[in-house]
Amino acid sequence: MKPMFAALAAVSLAAALAPIAARADQTLLNVSYDPTREFYAAYDAQFVKDWKTKTGETITVNQSHGGSGAQARAVIDGLEADVVTLALAYDIDAISQKAKLLPPNWATRLPDNASPYTSTIVFLVRKGNPKHLHDWPDLVKPGIAVITANPKTSGGARWNFLAAYDYALRANDKSEAKAGSYVKALYANVPVLDSGSRGATTTFTERGIGDVLLAWENEAILAVKEHPGDYEIVTPSSSILAEPPVSVVDVNADKHGTRKVAEAYLHELYAPWAQRLECQFGYRPRRHDITCETHFAQLPLSTIAEFGGWDAAQAKFFADGAVFDQIYQPK
C-alpha cells in the first residue's frame, strides 16, 4: 500500500507542478493607447524572437489598447499591466498617485523622459488644400471648420490644444490674454467636439466634416497612407513635442516575477532596430542616426516642460473653470 501511495503522490505532484513549469514561460501585459496597435504588434513579434535567442525563454506579450485615460483607469482599478505605454505622462502619473503601483520618479528611469518615440501635432487637410490652410492663423478665419476632440475627455486632444496655445504665445510675445483669445476663436470654428481622438479622425475622414483635422503626426501619416489621394499633411510654423511615455508597473511586475523582461522590453524600444520600426509607423525616433522611408518636417517644437509639466498644465488649462472651460461661456 505504501509504495503505491508514494507513487500516486509522486504522479499527482508532478501533474500539479507541470503547469508551473510551463508557466516559467512568462507573459507580459502591455497596456497601451489606441494608435499604437499596429506598431506594438510588429515590435512584440521581433522582441519575443530576440528574447528567445538571447535567453532561451519563450515569452508571450499581450496587448491592450483603448483611450489613454480609460486604459490608465483600468490599471488603477486592477488591470494587471506589467508595462504601460500611454499617450501622456499625466496618465502614468495618475497610476502612480492614485494606485501607488509605480514610484513618482518613473519618468527618470529611462532616457528622454521615458518617451522612446515622439510625435507632434500637424494639420490634415483635404487634397489640394482647397481652403489654403498653411499655418495656425488660417484656422481662425471665418468659415473654416476645424475638427479636434474635446481635451476634457481626450488625452490626445490636450496636445492639440497646447500646440495651438503655444503658437499663439509665440506669435504674441507670450501674452496669455492674446493666446486665450486665439484658442477661443479656434474652438469657435470647431463644429463637432468628439470625445476621443479616434472619433475626431472618423468625423473628418469618414463623415467628411471639416476643412482641417488637428492630428497627431503618426495618425496623419497613417491616414494619408490608407486613403491615398484624399488628404495632405500641412506642417504649421510651430507645434508641440508630443511625448508618449512608457513605464514598468513595478507592483504588478514584481508580483508576476516579470520585472527583468519588462525592463528589457521597454529598454529595447530605444534600440536602433526598434527606432527604425517606430519611424516606419510614423513616430519620430529619438535617435538621430535612424533613417526610414517616412519623412518628418523640421519645425520648432515646444515641450510640456515649458508649460510646467502636466500637473500644472492640467490645472491651468483643463481643470473645471480653467482656460478651456472659459472658451465656452454662455453669451
Partner 1 sequence: MRRSLGLIVSRDVVPGRTLALGTTIALATLAVLMPLAVVVLVATTADWRTLGPELISPRMTAAFRLTFGASLAAALLDVVCGTYIAWVLVRRRFTGIALLDALVDVPLAIPTAVAGIALATLYGAHGWAGAFLEAHGLHVAYTPLGIGIALAFVGLPFAVRAVAPVLAALPKEYEEAAKSLGANQAITFARVVLPQLVPAILAGFALALARGLGEYGSVLFISGNLPLRTEIAPLLIMAKLEEYDYQGAAAIATVLLLSSFSLLLAIAALQRRLTARSVRA
Q: Within 281-319, where are the H helices? A: 309-313
Q: Cβ 192 to partner 1, closest distance in Å? A: 4
**What whole-number distance in Å separates Cα of residue 159 and Cα of residue 286?**
19
Q: List the one residue out of 295, 253, 251, 287 whose CA is nearest residue 271.
A: 287
- In the complex with partner 1, the residue whose CB is nearer, 193 or 266, is 193
**What whole-number distance in Å separates Cα of residue 281 and Cα of residue 258?**
27
Stretch that binds partner 1, among 44-52, 129-137, 187-195, 230-238 (CB under 8 A): 187-195
- The secondary structure of residue 121, as a DSSP letter, is E
Q: Which residue of 185, 192, 224, 264 would you call a contact of partner 1, by CB under 8 A?
A: 192
Site for partner 1 in 34-93 (CB under 8 A): 69, 72-73, 76
Site for partner 1 in 95-124 (CB under 8 A): 98
DSSP string, 46-83: HHHHHHHHHH----EEEEE-S-HHHHHHHHHTT---SE
Q: Residue 246's beta-bridge partner residues?
A: 85
**What whole-number distance in Å separates Cα of residue 254 and Cα of residue 150?**
37
Are 322 and 316 in contact by the 8 Å Cβ rule? The answer is yes
**Total residues at the site for partner 1 (CB under 8 A)?**
32
Stretch that binds partner 1, among 6-14, 46-54, 105-113, 148-156 (CB under 8 A): 148-156
Stretch that binds partner 1, among 4-12, 176-184, 297-305, 323-331 (CB under 8 A): 323-331
Q: Cβ 311 to partner 1, closest distance in Å? A: 11
Q: Which residue of 34, 44, 82, 194 would you call a contact of partner 1, by CB under 8 A?
A: 194
4: which 3 cell numbers?
503505491
Site for partner 1 in 211-250 (CB under 8 A): none
**What whole-number distance in Å separates Cα of residue 26 and Cα of residue 185?**
52
Stretch that binds partner 1, among 178-186, 216-224, 250-258, 322-330 (CB under 8 A): 322-330
Residues in contact with partner 1 by CB under 8 A are: 69, 72-73, 76, 94, 98, 150, 152-155, 190-195, 199, 202, 206-209, 314, 318-321, 325, 328-330
